[in-house]
Amino acid sequence: MRKSEHQVVIAGGGPTGLMLAGELALAGIDVAIVERRPSKDVVGARAGGLHPRTLESFDQRGIAERFLAEGQVAQAVGFAGVRLDLSGFPTRHPYTLGLWQNHIERILGGWVEELEVPISRGVEVIGLTQDDAGVGIGLSDGGALRAQYLVGCDGGRSFVRKAAGIDFPGSDPTTSNLIAEAELAEEPPELGIRRDAIGIHSIGRAEYEIRDGQIIFAKSGPVRVLVTEREVGKTGEPTLAEVQEALIGVYGTDYGIHSPTSITRFTDAARQAATYRQGRVLVAGDAAHIHPPDGGMGLQTGVQDAVNLGWKLAQVIKGISPESLLDTYHAERHPVGAKVLRYTMAAVALRREDDRTKALRETMAELLELDAPRRRVTADLTGLGIHYELGEGHPLRGRRMPDLDLETANGPTRCSTLLHAARPVLLNLGSPSALDIAPWADRVQVVDAAYDGAWELPGIGAVTAPEAVLIRPDGYVAWVGDAAGQGVAEALATWFGPPNGWP
Query: Residue 61 pLDDT > 90, yes or no?
Result: yes
Summarised one tens digit per residue, pLDDT across range 257-268 is: 999 988 988 889
pLDDT tens sequence across 134-166: 999 999 999 999 999 999 999 999 999 999 999
Say which amino acid occupies 25.
Answer: A
pLDDT at 211: 65
When pLDDT is averaged across residues 17-34 and rounded to a whole number, the result is: 98
* Residue 41 clears pLDDT 70, i.e. is over it: no
pLDDT digits (tens, 9 = 90+) for 198-245: 788 889 887 766 666 566 666 678 888 999 898 888 878 899 999 999
What number is the average pLDDT over the span 335-355? 92
SS3 state of residue 26: helix
Tens digit of each residue's pLDDT (9 = 90 or more) over 392-423: 889 999 999 999 999 999 999 999 999 999 99
Average pLDDT over residues 335-362: 92
Please tell me the distance from the alpha carbon of residue 16 to that of residue 108, in angstroms, as a whole number. 10
Q: What is the pLDDT of residue 78?
A: 86
- Is 389 a residue whose pLDDT tops 70? yes
Using one digit for the tens of pLDDT, what is the confidence trace for 450-495? Answer: 999 889 999 899 999 999 999 999 999 999 998 888 999 999 999 9
The predicted model gives 56-84 an average pLDDT of: 91
| Cis peptide bond prior to 503, omega within 30° of 0 | yes
Whole-number mean pLDDT of the chain?
92
- DSSP sequence for 425-479: EEEE-SSTT----GGGTTT-EEEEEE--S-EEETTTEEEPPPSEEEE-TTSBEEE
- Interatomic CA distance for residues 27 and 316, integer angstroms: 11
What is the model's pLDDT at position 503?
Answer: 45
Contact 179, 40 (CB under 8 A): no
Domains, the chain, with CATH or none: 5-170+271-382 (3.50.50.60), 175-267 (3.30.70.2450), 405-496 (3.40.30.120)
Residue by residue, what is the 3-state secondary structure of 275-339? CCEECCEEECHHHCEECCCCCCCHHHHHHHHHHHHHHHHHHHHHCCCCHHHHHHHHHHHHHHHHH
Distance of CA 81 to CAs 16, 76, 87, 359, 362, Å? 28, 12, 18, 13, 9
* Lowest model confidence (mean pLDDT) among 122-126, 204-208, 358-362: 204-208
